[in-house]
Structure 1
Amino acid sequence: MAAGDDRGHGGNEGYDDQIDAYYSWDSNVPNHRNLSVGDPIAIWDKQRLLGVSVIEEIQAEAGTKLLRRCPTCWKTRISERKSRLPRYRCMRCKAEFDEAVPDVVPVTVYRARYDAAWTALDGALNEDDLRALAKNPGDINAMRPLDWVGLTDALAARGAVRAVDRLVARADLSVSGAPSRPGVEFDPPQGHAHAFVRVRRGQRQFRDHLLSEQGGMCAFTGPAPERVLEAGHLYSYAQLGTHYRHGGLLLRRDIHRLFDDGLLSVQPSRLCIDVAPDLAKFPQYGRLHGERLTLQLRSEQVDWLAQHWEEHRTSTR
């Protein structure tokens, strides 16, 4: 739950969240150790679903946290009133007071990044829908487990099939026995490391390699600031767990998502961009239809793009 300014809990100062990129919490939060890389997540604001994604990385570091305690029972279960005085009310002992007692405690600070698969679904599910999907009825924790099957069924019923497909594809990061693919492996570390949680290895080196070959250029739209360019695999890294030297392209962040979803593809014989009808109604993407890519491709990249085309175009035309 990303409550933002709509916070009823007054026992701390809240967290640094950017809902479409990362979520922060600490070791004082219930379920704080129960999240892992590869977990699908749903972010909401106490009223509606904001979006879904899959955790790509979890960072952990030592820090401190300012708690506000009830001066009577020393608990942090206090609510901050917006229009009544005294300012605070303790949910445990029912004491009312104007000033809480500050208490700085050591904590482990966590941040989960999930921007690679973020799909905005503002309002696709409402508060009642989401509360009904909680595995533990009446759960009021900020982080709570949901019924996975129920969530995907509810999203599919609202027409968010692509969001479900993205979750399924990204959530499974450990498929074994994957078939061989074209391309030549190169030096970045492969697979997933086991540190605090399992993370993709070699992703930074893979992006650096593409930057050195492609420069600050999105393959679909042309020059772009480096900070918005992502290393897009032309195959499912989730299935293969391997970076191939010529198995990717630098793509602008939004283009990367649309390519992964198959809404953008490349016609392999002419190397022209193909925009799916559902996307073509947006002028900024519709104008890309029929345009050639902005750089020369290697034969391995063409092979990967042909497989992407086969998956997303020939099966539906």
Structure 2
Amino acid sequence: MAAGDNRGHGGNVGYDDQIDAYYSWDSNVPNHRKIEVGDPIALWDKERLLGVSVIEEIATAPGQKVLNRCPACGTTRINERKRVEPRFRCMKCREEFATARVEVVEVVTYQARYDAAWTPLEGLLNDEDLRSLALKAGDINAMRPLNWSAFREVLLDRHAGRAVARVGARMPDLIWPAEPLDVVGTPGGFRRTIVRVRRGQQRFREDLLARQGKVCAFTGSAPARVLEAGHLYSYAQLGTHAPHGGLMLRRDIHRLFDDGLLAVDPYRLRVDVSPDLAAYPQYARLHDGRLTTRLEDGQVDWLAKHWDEHRATSPTVV
């Protein structure tokens, strides 16, 4: 997915993107229906890689789109120039003009969220690297198929194993819900949300909330909306929600715990903060502190396995 100032707009006014959280497009964009929940994605600014993630949710809604067209041939493939007059130049017929022909069309808008697994890899690969990994040589679309197997091998060669692991761990957990999709009414029309979720994940979260309350195990009280049910083991490998296998974690703490940057010494039951987080006071002050949640024996056992995985060795991956 192309993002940032270099993203092509096809004659429209642009898109609302937040590179590390969500990406927007509409039904006029090539490949607009080929993006699915559970897809691994790579974002770039057409000059360098920005990061990788996995799509968790795609929301759609009806909308309108303002198109600027060439007055001679009608294409939206026009280039707006900032320092040259006339202001516009058509990339198809080469016509130059001061004012574009404006058209308003009905579209379906899409917004994909992927912030849970977002891993920044800014500049790890350049534009030539990424273009060579496209499935279709010469593809110029904003969203284009990527040879993920080859891309993965390149990331591993560049010591980005943690990014590969995070993406891989998210993909097996995503499945279509058995119940029908919800359609939620809004003042401007409707919004249909398509989500793939871990089977039983909502019940798992509800059970943890009931037992542990609105408390992040590492940082203390927090609004329920920012708390996630964090597994103390790899759900992707185990495939089930183990009894006493989770803690309520604030979203940022959840990600850092999954990466092993935060861990719990199972012998002293004290928080261990990785040296990589020492520069951030909000995390550094957690070091050697106690959890705010009382632990069951089963949770301590799972934390010991997490400790052995992330503290027994010192990985050098990004």
Q: TM-score range by the shorter chain?
A: 0.7 to 0.9
Q: Deviations over 1:202-239 (max 9, x none)?
A: 65565455445444432112344555433322233445
Alpha-carbon distance between aligned partners in 2 of 1:248 and 1:215, rounded to the nearest angstrom: 13
Judge which range, 300-309 or 19-28, deviates more.
300-309
Call closer, same or farther: CA 1:227–1:49 in 2, change over 3 Å.
Answer: farther
| Cα pair 1:36 1:197 within 8 Å, conserved | no
Call closer, same or farther: CA 1:122–1:227 in 2, change over 3 Å.
Answer: farther
Moved over 6 A (4+): none
| Cα pair 2:3 2:43 within 8 Å, conserved | no
Match of 1:233 in 2: 231
Judge which range, 193-202 or 256-265, deviates more.
193-202
Alpha-carbon distance between aligned partners in 1 of 2:97 and 2:294, rounded to the nearest angstrom: 68
Match of 2:187 in 1: none
Match of 1:199 in 2: 196
Alpha-carbon distance between aligned partners in 2 of 1:29 and 1:120, rounded to the nearest angstrom: 25
3-state DSSP class of the match of 2:99?
Answer: coil
Alpha-carbon distance between aligned partners in 2 of 1:300 and 1:25, rounded to the nearest angstrom: 45
Paired residues for 1:67-106 under 5 Å: 67-106=67-106
**TM norm structure 2:** 0.83
Q: For residue 57 of structure 2, what is the amino acid of its counterpart?
A: E
| Cα pair 2:262 2:271 within 8 Å, conserved | yes
Match of 1:221 in 2: 219
Q: For residue 154 of structure 1, what is the amino acid of its counterpart?
A: V
Match of 1:183 in 2: none
Paired residues for 1:1-317 under 5 Å: 1-7=1-7, 9=9, 11-173=11-173, 192-193=176-177, 199-200=196-197, 203=201, 206-207=204-205, 209-224=207-222, 226-239=224-237, 242-243=240-241, 246-280=244-278, 284-314=282-312
User: What's the offset of the Cα at 1:304?
Assistant: 3.0
Call closer, same or farther: CA 1:203–1:172 in 2, change over 3 Å.
Answer: closer
Alpha-carbon distance between aligned partners in 2 of 1:129 and 1:47, rounded to the nearest angstrom: 10
Q: For residue 120 of structure 1, what is the amino acid of its counterpart?
A: P
Q: For residue 196 of structure 2, what is the amino acid of its counterpart?
A: V
User: What's the offset of the Cα at 1:138?
Assistant: 1.3
User: What's the offset of the Cα at 1:246?
Assistant: 4.4
| Cα pair 1:9 1:78 within 8 Å, conserved | no
Q: For residue 119 of structure 1, what is the amino acid of its counterpart?
A: T
Alpha-carbon distance between aligned partners in 1 of 2:111 and 2:139, rounded to the nearest angstrom: 22
Judge which range, 58-67 or 116-125, deviates more.
58-67
User: What's the offset of the Cα at 1:253?
Assistant: 2.6
Pairwise CA RMSD: 2.8
Alpha-carbon distance between aligned partners in 1 of 2:43 and 2:69, rounded to the nearest angstrom: 28
Q: For residue 251 of structure 1, what is the amino acid of its counterpart?
A: L
Call closer, same or farther: CA 1:213–1:2 in 2, change over 3 Å.
Answer: farther
Q: Which runs of 5+ in 1 are unaligned?
A: 175-190
3-state DSSP class of the match of 2:63?
Answer: strand
Call closer, same or farther: CA 1:290–1:138 in 2, change over 3 Å.
Answer: same
Q: For residue 54 of structure 1, what is the amino acid of its counterpart?
A: V
3-state DSSP class of the match of 1:302?
Answer: helix
Q: Deviations over 1:70-117 (max 9, x none)?
A: 111111111111211111111111111111122121211111111111
**TM norm structure 1:** 0.83
Alpha-carbon distance between aligned partners in 1 of 2:272 and 2:131, rounded to the nearest angstrom: 40
Alpha-carbon distance between aligned partners in 2 of 1:63 and 1:202, rounded to the nearest angstrom: 34
Call closer, same or farther: CA 1:238–1:285 in 2, change over 3 Å.
Answer: same
Call closer, same or farther: CA 1:82–1:208 in 2, change over 3 Å.
Answer: farther
Q: Which runs of 5+ in 2 are unaligned?
A: 182-192
Q: For residue 131 of structure 1, what is the amino acid of its counterpart?
A: R
Call closer, same or farther: CA 1:3–1:115 in 2, change over 3 Å.
Answer: closer
3-state DSSP class of the match of 1:116?
Answer: helix
Question: Percent identity among equivalent residues?
Answer: 65
